[in-house]
Chain A
Amino acid sequence: MEGFSLAPLDALRLQTVNELRACNDVTLGFGLYLSERQMQNIAQRRWETLIDMGRVELGEGLLTMLVLSFCDSPFIDQNNYEDTLIALVDLFYAFKAESMERLADDELIAFMKERFDGVCQGSLTCLYDSVLWGLCHEDKDDG
């Protein structure tokens, strides 16, 4: 039995755009807003990341959780909002795989936010290294 095909692109794109559109109402208060073109771009990049990571997106609300967690970060502004969101989606799925599914979505996002705003001071490169380090040490602590 060969691999199950990923979610239909159209459905995922629509879901992503709908979530981001709803988030705009909240993020506007933090000076962050996504245009339709940007939302479509994020949806496309998300699809590509899922393919690259060999994952299937089956639920709803992940984008909302990410956006609402990070929208108050002092290191995100309108200039870097789209790119940062794309990077956070990439990193999220990478970390899910690295943690071997042991971390719940909300736990992982909280961990990422804490590191992003804290020790990483808004650096995505640092975030990647820092979260991975944290995951590895969590492994060791678990024995």
Chain B
Amino acid sequence: MDEGEMMEAYGDGNGVPALFLSDGDVQCYQNQLWELLKELTYGFTMGDSSSLPVETANELVKSAVFCIGLYLKSRGESLAHYAPIAPGTVAKLFSGGRQTVFDQIERGKAQWQAAIDTAPPVDSISYWDTLREIGGFFRRYDAKYLAHEIPCAIDYPLCHAVPERYGIAYVREYLRRLQLENALCARFSIDSVRQLLACHWPTYREDLINICEPVFINAMGLCLIGKDVFSLSMTGTDKTDLFARFGSWSADAAKQHMQNALHRLLDALGLHGGCAHSYFAHSANDLFVRMASLGFDGFFNLFVTLDG
């Protein structure tokens, strides 16, 4: 659930739902949200306190709205579906939302385990620290009162960062993308991957370097010139060849060649399915933009020649 969707549930940040609700429905929604907040406060303070700092109350509201938004999204609905807002609507949506969060936690745990199981055996500190942190997330995550928070440090950079999201939704999307990247890297020999990383960025173990991106770039380069993608190594001659070819294509032709290469690459790697194609189509587009903007030297350095 991204911020736009959360705002659709929460509104303009002042408890006022956006769009499609009448003034009367807005008032009903606010009143019911207020009643929900009173219940949450009682639970959060274990009945010990009748008042809260505004900041804490805000966080409880954000959490509740996150849950409601997650529930609506899971059902393909919006608040407008519930207009006019009947008594008990917000409580019902929140209850559904809380259950959705709990369900997502279980799925997230399974995704996390799968990410560990499929992780490329590359000694990247940030990669493994991040996986450990995500394990800690499931211990620290307060699904009842602070479901919008992400109590862990996720430093390892993906090929494509998760757009701003909240709570378990962010973590699940991060793990989904990580698994796609793992799947791509797993198609190549680990020695080739390690060698490529070492040639691409000698201090990759210590630095925040994405493992999948240089693998994908080289594989695409090889695919574009019709060479064996599994070698993972672009020689100087290969780079010169690719530069010449790319330079001779019109923009439209280059995009078409990139799309075709992507299809061939994913087919060769046995990565079928819309999710992989969609994700790596994004990578292919990014690669196209970089290739189109680079001169020969930059182009040459974009692809990696494996030593030996």
Contact = CB atoms under 8 A, between A and B. Distances in A.
Interface of A: 1-8, 50, 54-62, 93, 96-97, 101, 104-107
Interface string B22-63: 000000000000100110011001001111111111100110
Contact of B55 (A54, A59, A107): A54
Contacts of B34: 7-8
Contacts of B52: 55-56, 58, 101
Interface of B: 10, 13-15, 34, 37-38, 41-42, 45, 48-58, 61-62
B50 A4 contact: no
Given A2-B13, A4-B61, A50 B51 contact: yes
Nearest to B56: A101
Contacts of B61: 4
A73 to B, nearest CB: 22
Which among A4, A61, A62, A96 has the highest number of chain B CB atoms within 10 Å?
A4
A50 B50 CA distance: 12
A90 to B, nearest CB: 13
Given A1-B13, A5-B15, A7-B34, A59 B54 contact: no
A8 B52 CA distance: 15
A40 to B, nearest CB: 20
Given A3-B54, A3-B58, A105 B14 contact: no
A58 B50 contact: yes
26 contacts: A1-B13, A3-B58, A4-B15, A4-B37, A4-B58, A7-B34, A8-B34, A54-B53, A54-B54, A55-B51, A55-B52, A56-B54, A58-B50, A58-B51, A58-B57, A59-B42, A59-B50, A59-B51, A62-B51, A93-B51, A96-B51, A101-B52, A101-B56, A104-B48, A105-B48, A105-B49
- What is the predominant secondary structure among interface residues of chain B facing chain A? helix
Nearest to A56: B57
A32 B52 CA distance: 30
Contacts of A58: 37-38, 41-42, 50-52, 57
A56 B38 CA distance: 10
Nearest to B31: A8
Given A1-B58, A4-B57, A56-B57, A61 B50 contact: yes
Contacts of A62: 50-51
A93 B49 CA distance: 11
A107 B56 CA distance: 21
- What is the predominant secondary structure among interface residues of chain A facing chain B? loop
A60 B39 CA distance: 12
B51 A56 contact: yes
Given A7-B34, A59-B38, A97 B49 contact: no
Given A1-B58, A5-B15, A59-B38, A97 B50 contact: no
Contacts of A7: 34
Contacts of A60: 50
Which among B54, B56, B58 has the highest number of chain A CB atoms within 10 Å?
B54
A61 to B, nearest CB: 6
Nearest to A96: B51
Nearest to A101: B49
Given A58-B57, A62-B50, A104-B45, 16 more contacts: A3-B54, A3-B58, A4-B57, A5-B15, A54-B55, A55-B51, A56-B51, A57-B50, A58-B42, A59-B50, A61-B50, A62-B51, A96-B51, A97-B53, A105-B48, A106-B48
Nearest to A55: B51
Contacts of B13: 1-2
Contacts of A2: 13-14
B54 A55 contact: yes
A5 B31 CA distance: 12
Given A4-B15, A4-B61, A5-B14, A105 B55 contact: no
A43 B51 CA distance: 15
A5 B50 CA distance: 17
Nearest to A92: B51
